[in-house]
């Protein structure tokens, strides 16, 4: 094609999500103005074909044509001929005409293969209609449910029900649907080669389309091929046509709607896997009862839907979002060994409530019961969630290293109960960044990096981050490295991911995966310089305290801006920054204010001068072993009594603490405070 196949609406959506440059290359090249031979053969073998077109009032409708295999032919690579196939009572019956735009979709559920063809009707007669092809392209098999169809006798007389709103039967069909089709259009002159009608497939777990009321539906948009044909059309032309199929009865439910795109909000955040939401306002409903001469077997769900949600879960997640500051009971449902010293624990709510949505990189706090007879208090530890959200359960991956982690390894079997609080934390991937990223980890610091990867790289080959991702991890040896096979699978499926594992106590491992490597040695700045042509990267760090401090200092020594270096640290592993945070990220007393601080239990005195990030950091700089876990004001383990003076908080905290206590990790002396005394 001599011009872009994408019209301004599609380009605007691509620009918004950061893929416009990439889609201008390989994406645009995949859209042809002729049908490849394999597509021509594919269309010719179909007994059914989905189309989208406009009625005389300009309303798009989606429908299915049905006939014997061979009713679609391709006299040449730029011509599609369709003989019959429209069922009585179809809302497009009598609406198609010469010069009208038509969107076509061929789909075979058993192979999950689908191909698209759009064009203009250039001739119609008793023998069918001839379509001049303007766009032809394949679609990936994502979200297609595997069903086997069986021919049956169609209803002798079609019963067609028309209404302005959804009936109870209509709402029930939509509420249990795992598939629908959507037709949309853009006939603007400036659309150029992108001008026309499109019909697309949508799939998910049953319950992924919400029936808000008899005139409103809401559906998620999952990661797709980044063409954004539907969203691009709806951006300027919100009318659309939906088709739901009752695979048991053969009913076709056509719904004419007006659509709006929802880009943000609590509903979107709560729905696992959703990139956007589409809200449909019903204009007209046509139900063609028992019209289809097929029935279908029970579906085999597409693998991609396992990480997506449904509205029942999303509603519960929104309710759970208000409870992140409370301790809630969870049940261990599965335990998986990831390495010689790391186990993953899968946790589901035991209180009948939902799982609050999290962002990859965030953590939960876990509370273990104390020993009342021995006078031991409950123990709190924070653990990164080691997987992307799925709306149903959490995963933490724990290295056996210390009393609490050893207790978890020994006692947490399926069926065990624990108390969790959260999720929370600020160590998350910067959404929308267009810079290449470097994920640097060592030891169990791999957990937030795996969560981020699982959130960014999805469905076998799709990526939410279209730029390079460099994943560097240090481990003692192969037995101590968690998620080894998972990383190899990710590297094999995603060309923008480069993985390099460094083994400090073993030889490197040969690999036939181009972008997966292993070598012997430790990760340090000198080695890192041999692996990266230092440029405009975002860096993410997690690992032991010494490792992170070394990497941070080394990166700053290479003039990497402080704000480009993000890190996570629990317990004593706090990195000392050598640059103030960006304006507005934290409120602290200025360097000119000197506040004496007395720690009574340790008998230690210190002088606050504004250089420490928090009172916790000040205490640790004086060698005080302060109890601390999450370091973000969530778990409450760093709470101590404030005996005199005033403090101010640097962040909003969710921990529930007793009157007279303060959270060391999130407080600094208040402006104007003369002195502080803390029970530590």
* Section 643-647 average pLDDT: 93
pLDDT tens-digit map of 48-103: 999 999 999 999 999 999 999 999 999 999 999 999 999 999 999 999 999 999 99
pLDDT tens-digit map of 376-430: 567 888 999 999 999 999 999 999 988 889 999 999 999 999 999 999 988 999 9
% the chain with pLDDT above 70: 95
Identify the pLDDT of residue 671. Answer: 86
* Section 493-500 average pLDDT: 94
Q: Check whether 588 has a pLDDT greater than 60.
A: no
Q: Can you state the percent helix, strand and coil of the chain, rounding each to 5?
A: 20, 35, 45
| HSE (side-chain half, CA atoms, 13 Å) at 505 | 8
The burial class, CB within 10 Å (0-12 / 13-18 / 19+), for 194 is: buried
pLDDT tens-digit map of 432-465: 888 999 999 999 999 999 999 999 999 888 888 8
Q: Check whether 628 has a pLDDT greater than 70.
A: yes
569 pLDDT band, cuts 50/70/90, is low
Cα–Cα distance, 458 to 292 (Å, whole number)? 35
* Section 347-351 average pLDDT: 96
Identify the pLDDT of residue 539. Answer: 96
Q: Check whether 192 has a pLDDT greater than 80.
A: yes
As assigned by CATH, the class of the 437-568 domain is alpha beta
CATH 3.40.50.80 maps onto the chain at 437-568
Q: Are 261 and 275 in contact (CB under 8 A)?
A: no
Q: Check whether 46 has a pLDDT greater than 50.
A: yes
Cα–Cα distance, 67 to 86 (Å, whole number)? 8
CATH 2.30.110.10 maps onto the chain at 8-312
Q: Check whether 524 has a pLDDT greater than 50.
A: yes
Q: Check whether 587 has a pLDDT greater than 50.
A: no
Task: Return the axis-axis angle of helices 229-236 and 8-17, rounded to nearest 10°.
Answer: 110
CB atoms within 10 A of CB 108: 18
Q: Check whether 590 has a pLDDT greater than 50.
A: no
* Section 656-680 average pLDDT: 90
CB atoms within 10 A of CB 554: 15
Identify the pLDDT of residue 621. Answer: 84
353 pLDDT band, cuts 50/70/90, is very high
Cα–Cα distance, 170 to 366 (Å, whole number)? 45
Work out the mean pLDDT of the chain and round it to a whole number.
Answer: 91
Which CATH number fits the domain 322-424, given the four candidates 2.40.30.10, 3.40.50.300, 1.10.10.60, 3.90.550.10?
Answer: 2.40.30.10
The CATH superfamily label for domain 595-678 reads Beta-grasp domain (3.10.20.30)
Closest to 325 in 3D by CA, of 678, 663, 669, 680: 663
Q: Are 490 and 499 in contact (CB under 8 A)?
A: yes
Task: List the structure tokens of 38.
Answer: 């394999």
Q: Check whether 373 has a pLDDT greater than 90.
A: no
Q: Check whether 582 has a pLDDT greater than 80.
A: no
As assigned by CATH, the class of the 8-312 domain is mainly beta
583 pLDDT band, cuts 50/70/90, is very low
Closest to 254 in 3D by CA, of 86, 11, 90: 90
Q: Write the CA distances from 261 to 231, 276, 363, 589, integer angstroms.
A: 8, 7, 31, 44
Task: List the structure tokens of 454.
Answer: 């699982």
What is the DSSP secondary structure assignment for residue 572, as one 8-state letter? T
CATH 3.10.20.30 maps onto the chain at 595-678
Distance of CA 505 to the CA centre of its chain: 36
Q: What is the 3-state secondary structure (H, E, C) of 277-318?
A: EEEEEEEEEEEEECCCCEEECCCECCHHHHHCCCHHHHHHHH
Cα–Cα distance, 365 to 380 (Å, whole number)? 7
Q: Check whether 511 has a pLDDT greater than 80.
A: no
**0.75 exceeded by pTM:** yes
Distance of CA 247 to the CA centre of its chain: 29
pLDDT tens-digit map of 138-188: 988 999 999 999 999 866 667 999 999 999 999 999 999 999 999 999 999
- Residues whose CB is less than 8 angstroms from the CB of residue 222 and which lie 6 or more positions away in sequence, other chains included: 142, 143, 204, 273, 274, 275, 304, 308
Identify the pLDDT of residue 574. Answer: 64
Identify the pLDDT of residue 591. Answer: 43
Q: What is the 3-state secondary structure (H, E, C) of 486-512?
A: HHHHHHHHCCCEEEEEEECCCCCCCCC
Q: Are 110 and 148 in contact (CB under 8 A)?
A: yes
């Amino acid at each position: 094609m001599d011009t872009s196949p994408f019209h301004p609406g599609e380009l605007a959506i691509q620009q918004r999500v950061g893929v416009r440059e990439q889609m201008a290359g390989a994406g645009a090249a995949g859209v042809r103005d002729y049908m490849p031979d394999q597509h021509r053969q594919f269309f010719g073998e179909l007994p059914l074909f989905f189309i989208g077109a406009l009625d005389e009032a300009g309303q798009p409708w989606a429908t299915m044509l049905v006939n014997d295999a061979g009713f679609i032919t391709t006299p040449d690579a730029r011509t599609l001929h369709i003989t019959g196939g429209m069922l009585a009572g179809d809302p497009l019956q009598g609406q198609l005409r010469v010069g009208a735009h038509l969107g076509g979709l061929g789909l075979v559920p058993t192979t999950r293969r689908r191909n698209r063809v759009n064009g203009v009707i250039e001739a119609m007669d008793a023998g069918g209609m001839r379509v001049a092809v303007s766009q032809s392209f394949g679609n990936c098999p994502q979200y297609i449910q595997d069903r086997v169809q069986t021919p049956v006798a169609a209803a002798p007389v079609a019963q067609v029900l028309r209404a302005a709103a959804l009936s109870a039967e209509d709402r029930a069909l939509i509420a249990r649907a795992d598939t629908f089709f959507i037709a949309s259009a853009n006939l603007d002159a400036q659309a150029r080669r992108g001008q026309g009608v499109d019909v697309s497939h949508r799939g998910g777990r049953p319950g992924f389309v919400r029936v808000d009321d008899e005139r409103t539906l809401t559906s998620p948009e999952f990661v797709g091929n980044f063409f954004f044909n539907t969203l691009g059309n709806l951006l300027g032309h919100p009318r659309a046509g939906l088709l739901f199929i009752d695979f048991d009865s053969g009913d076709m439910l056509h719904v004419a709607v007006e659509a709006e795109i929802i880009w943000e909000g609590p509903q979107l955040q709560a729905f696992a896997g959703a990139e956007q939401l589409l809200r449909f306002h019903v204009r007209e409903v046509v139900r063609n009862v028992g019209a289809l001469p097929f029935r279908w077997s029970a579906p085999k769900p597409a693998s991609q839907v396992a990480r997506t949600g449904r509205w029942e879960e999303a509603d519960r997640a929104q309710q759970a979002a208000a409870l992140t500051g409370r301790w809630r009971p969870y049940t261990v449902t599965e335990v998986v060994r990831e390495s010689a010293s790391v186990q993953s624990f899968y946790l589901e709510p035991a209180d009948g409530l939902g799982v609050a949505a999290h962002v990859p990189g965030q953590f939960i706090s876990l509370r273990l019961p104390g020993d009342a007879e021995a006078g031991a208090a409950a123990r709190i530890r924070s653990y990164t969630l080691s997987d992307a959200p799925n709306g149903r359960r959490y995963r933490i991956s724990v290295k056996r290293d210390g009393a609490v982690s050893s207790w978890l390894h020994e006692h947490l079997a399926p069926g065990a109960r624990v108390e969790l609080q959260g999720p929370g934390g600020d160590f998350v991937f910067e959404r929308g960044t267009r810079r290449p990223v470097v994920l640097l980890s060592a030891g169990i610091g791999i957990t937030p990096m795996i969560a981020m990867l699982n959130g960014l790289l999805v469905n076998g080959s799709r990526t939410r981050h279209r730029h390079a991702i460099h994943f560097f991890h240090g481990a003692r040896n192969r037995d101590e490295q968690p998620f080894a096979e998972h990383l190899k699978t990710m590297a094999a499926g995603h060309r923008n991911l480069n993985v390099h594992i460094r083994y400090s106590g073993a030889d490197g491992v040969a690999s036939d995966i181009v972008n997966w490597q292993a070598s012997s040695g430790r990760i340090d700045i000198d080695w890192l310089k041999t692996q990266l042509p230092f440029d405009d990267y975002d860096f993410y760090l997690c690992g032991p305290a010494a490792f992170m401090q070394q990497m941070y200092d080394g990166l700053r020594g290479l003039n990497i801006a402080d704000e480009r270096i993000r890190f996570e640290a629990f317990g004593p592993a706090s990195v000392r920054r050598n640059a103030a945070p960006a304006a507005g990220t934290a409120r602290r007393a200025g360097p000119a204010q000197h506040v004496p601080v007395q720690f009574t239990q340790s008998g230690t005195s210190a002088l606050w001068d504004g250089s420490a990030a928090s009172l916790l950091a000040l205490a640790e700089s004086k060698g005080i072993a302060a109890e601390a876990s999450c370091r973000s004001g969530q778990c409450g383990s760093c709470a101590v009594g404030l005996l005199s003076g005033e403090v101010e908080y640097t962040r909003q905290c969710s921990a529930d603490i007793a009157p007279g206590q303060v959270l060391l990790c999130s407080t600094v002396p208040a402006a104007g405070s003369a002195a502080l005394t803390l029970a530590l």
